[in-house]
């Protein structure tokens, strides 16, 4: 048997942020956030949960049902009242009020609400800085979405009918004054206004706002504009005088954006409105954290390519403007002193496991994710308590073998680690299988790319421009074909010398579709060898003879493999390019 050098193109896969919804108190001593990660060594669920950092990390609440995701934490300025939204795990939350939301409801911690109306008000939650009131985005009859104000001291509910929240609704509920909070909203013409105890005051922004942040006394508003054909702009609006100043100008606004234009700057405003934190992209294409006074002075970077080379995915500012927190795509959480610039790492690089290519034991495999390896080192992978051989590693893809010792049919957990263990960990739970046959692309990321065979001499791919000949024996590479005889130990390369290591359960059948003007049906394809590929760890090779008499240059090859746990068989299919008359 000849060897094929399998080259994997390590394409970056979409990875969700490891920490979202960062929010902190006025003094910056408490940080709340949402994450699907677990505190290391715990059995927490893998859905988004609410965490807090004070002197250390602690779990505040986790979902009680598989469909739930606890997101968008809120905290009062003094840290005595907190809240979050219990939403659908499959929902994509961008804007606060926009059409019928998925099943979701707000939860408040730290205060007993008289005649608590929250369970009856389905919608997302926004907490005032003073902790005295919340705004809920509620769906009424006919799927009309209206904000509702709830006084947490009395339980009184006010329906803000005909009004709407601005953007994501964060930092739009001011402190209570004169018997109720001042709220930044939009009217039915999408014009901004301030609402207070039934009265409204119209605001005159120079641009349409996609998002806004208001200080606690409703005297300063920083909003983001994204005019079609223009550039993103971060603008400060002084409520008393109506004067405005452009603080920052971002990149051009992309064409054909959705109705809910995503924020570029993701700003956060101090309680007194004197300073603003925002994100912008550096020369390397990574988001970094910047800080600026709202009078346009004192602009400076709190993170940069040297201190945070991976960039920042989310950030927040304390109410007094002295502490910033930042989360990175590599799972780090940073605490930054604004006056001094001193940066403390609260959580180090944390691998995030997203997807497993194949659950079959003994098979070569791939995990996709983020921060999966550090430069020059291979991570340690555990499947349950069994160490798994790691073949290669990149930051977004790790190639390894599921040990033969893992028991099929039982749930198993995969963990990955390198360097000092961070406080959080990502756990990938799967049910191991004895057989889960899948064709493997020899030249592409195993999660994407064409599934192609190789010609008899292993030197070139079988493609539409270089098809196989009738009668030619071609080769395919696969994962998950189960036990072989004689066996090969976990982590060992398959010997190149005889005997061949054939699968115990060969394909039930392999057929090629043969549908044309004069023929219909399928032709059997002889399979002289199926087993472990010599020179590789856990990689399977199948040799197949192309049938005579095919009428289509592009035909479907289908092979059926046994399913030992559930009975029956599964069919894996691949394109077969054949030279025809």
The confidence score (pLDDT) of residue 95 equals 60
Structural domain including 71 reads 19-203
In the chain, which stretches have pLDDT less than 50? Answer: 1-15, 93, 141-142, 517
Domain contains 6: no
Q: Are residues 155 and 247 in the same domain?
A: no
In terms of C-beta distances under 8 Å and separation of at least 24 residues, what long-range contacts does 460-468 make, across chains too?
462/576, 462/577, 463/577, 464/553, 464/554, 464/577, 466/577, 467/553, 467/577, 467/578, 467/579, 468/546, 468/576, 468/577, 468/578, 468/579
Q: Which residues pair with 522 in a beta bridge?
A: 513
The confidence score (pLDDT) of residue 341 equals 96
Q: Are residues 450 and 394 in the same domain?
A: no
- Which of the listed residues 382, 400, 431 is the one where a domain comes to its end? 431
Domain contains 554: yes
Q: Are residues 337 and 387 in the same domain?
A: no
Q: Are residues 130 and 73 in the same domain?
A: yes
Is the Cβ–Cβ distance between 126 and 173 less than 8 Å? Answer: yes
Measured torsion, CA atoms of residues 438, 440, 441, 442, in degrees rounded to the nearest 10: -160
Q: Are residues 451 and 507 in the same domain?
A: yes
Q: Which residues pair with 321 in a beta bridge?
A: none
List the one residue out of 346, 426, 430, 431 whose CA is nearest residue 42.
Answer: 426
CATH number for position 243: 2.120.10.30
- Which of the listed residues 347, 382, 397 is the one where a domain comes to its end? 347
Q: Are residues 77 and 181 in the same domain?
A: yes
Q: Are residues 446 and 514 in the same domain?
A: yes
Domain contains 236: yes
Per-residue model confidence as pLDDT tens digits over 238-256: 999 999 999 999 999 988 7
Burial class (CB in 10 A: 0-12, 13-18, 19+), 460: exposed
* pTM score of the predicted model: 0.88
Domain contains 12: no
In this structure, the number of other CB atoms found within 10 A of the CB of residue 87 comes to: 24
- Which of the listed residues 297, 317, 347 is the one where a domain comes to its end? 347
Is 142 strand, coil or helix? Answer: helix
Task: Look at the chain and report how many structural domains it folds into.
Answer: 4
Is the Cβ–Cβ distance between 324 and 277 less than 8 Å? Answer: yes
Q: Are residues 215 and 198 in the same domain?
A: no
Q: Are residues 314 and 216 in the same domain?
A: yes
Q: Are residues 80 and 174 in the same domain?
A: yes
CATH number for position 381: 2.60.40.10
CA distance 470 to 550: 8
Tokens at residue 443, please? Answer: 């030249």
Q: Are residues 409 and 424 in the same domain?
A: yes
Domain contains 51: yes
* 3-state SS record for 184-209: EEECCCCCEEEEECCEEEECCCCCCE
Is 118 strand, coil or helix? Answer: helix
Q: Are residues 126 and 186 in the same domain?
A: yes
CA distance 378 to 365: 15
The confidence score (pLDDT) of residue 558 equals 93
């Amino acid at each position: 048997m000849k060897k094929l050098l399998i080259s994997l193109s390590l394409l970056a896969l979409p990875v969700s942020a490891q920490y979202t919804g960062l929010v902190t108190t006025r003094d910056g001593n408490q940080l709340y956030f949402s994450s699907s990660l677990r505190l290391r060594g715990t059995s927490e669920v893998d859905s988004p949960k609410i965490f807090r950092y004070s002197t250390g990390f602690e779990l505040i609440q986790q979902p009680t049902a598989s469909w739930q995701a606890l997101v968008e934490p809120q905290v009062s300025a003094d840290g005595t009242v907190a809240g979050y939204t219990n939403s659908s795990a499959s929902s994509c939350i961008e804007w606060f009020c926009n059409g019928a939301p998925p099943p979701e409801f707000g939860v408040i911690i730290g205060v007993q609400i008289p005649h608590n109306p929250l369970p009856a008000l389905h919608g997302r939650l926004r907490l005032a800085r003073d902790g005295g009131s919340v705004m809920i985005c509620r769906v009424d009859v006919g799927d009309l979405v209206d904000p509702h104000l709830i006084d947490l001291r009395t339980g009184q509910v006010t329906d803000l009918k005909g009004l709407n929240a601005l953007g994501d609704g964060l930092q739009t509920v001011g402190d209570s004054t004169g018997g109720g909070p001042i709220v930044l909203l939009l009217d039915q013409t999408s014009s901004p206004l301030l609402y207070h105890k039934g009265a409204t005051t119209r605001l005159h922004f120079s641009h349409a706002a996609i998002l806004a942040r208001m200080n606690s006394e409703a005297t300063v508003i920083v909003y983001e504009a994204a005019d079609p054909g223009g550039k993103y702009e971060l603008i400060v609006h002084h409520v008393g005088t109506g004067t405005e100043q452009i603080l920052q100008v971002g990149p051009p606004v992309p064409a054909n954006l959705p109705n809910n234009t995503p924020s570029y700057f993701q700003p956060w405003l101090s309680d007194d409105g004197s300073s603003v934190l925002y994100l912008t992209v550096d020369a390397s294409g990574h988001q970094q954290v910047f800080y600026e006074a709202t009078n346009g002075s004192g602009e400076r970077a709190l993170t940069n390519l040297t201190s945070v080379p991976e960039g920042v995915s989310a950030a927040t500012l304390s109410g007094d403007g002295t502490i910033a927190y930042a989360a990175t795509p590599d799972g780090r959480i940073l605490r930054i002193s604004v006056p001094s610039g001193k940066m403390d790492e609260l959580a180090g690089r944390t691998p995030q496991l997203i997807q497993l290519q194949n659950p079959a034991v003994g098979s070569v495999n791939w995990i996709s994710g983020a921060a999966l390896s550090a430069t020059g080192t291979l991570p340690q992978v555990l499947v349950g308590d069994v160490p798994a051989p790691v073949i290669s590693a990149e930051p977004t893809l790790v190639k390894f073998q599921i040990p033969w010792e893992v028991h099929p049919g039982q749930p198993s957990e995969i963990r990955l680690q390198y360097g000092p263990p961070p406080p959080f960990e990502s756990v990938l739970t799967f049910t191991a299988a004895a057989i889960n046959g899948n064709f493997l692309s020899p030249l592409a990321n195993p999660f994407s790319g064409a599934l192609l065979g190789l010609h008899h001499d292993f030197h070139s791919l079988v493609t539409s421009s270089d098809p196989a000949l009738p009668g030619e024996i071609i080769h395919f590479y696969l994962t998950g074909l189960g036990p072989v005889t004689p066996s090969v130990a976990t982590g060992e390369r398959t010997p190149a010398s005889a005997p061949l290591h054939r699968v115990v359960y060969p394909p039930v059948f392999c057929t090629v579709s043969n549908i044309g003007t004069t023929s219909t049906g399928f032709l059997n394809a002889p399979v002289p060898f199926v087993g472990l590929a010599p020179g590789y760890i856990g990689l399977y090779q199948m040799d197949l003879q192309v049938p005579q008499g095919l009428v289509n240059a592009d035909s479907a090859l289908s092979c059926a493999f046994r399913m030992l746990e559930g009975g029956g068989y599964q069919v894996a299919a691949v394109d077969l390019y054949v030279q025809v008359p």
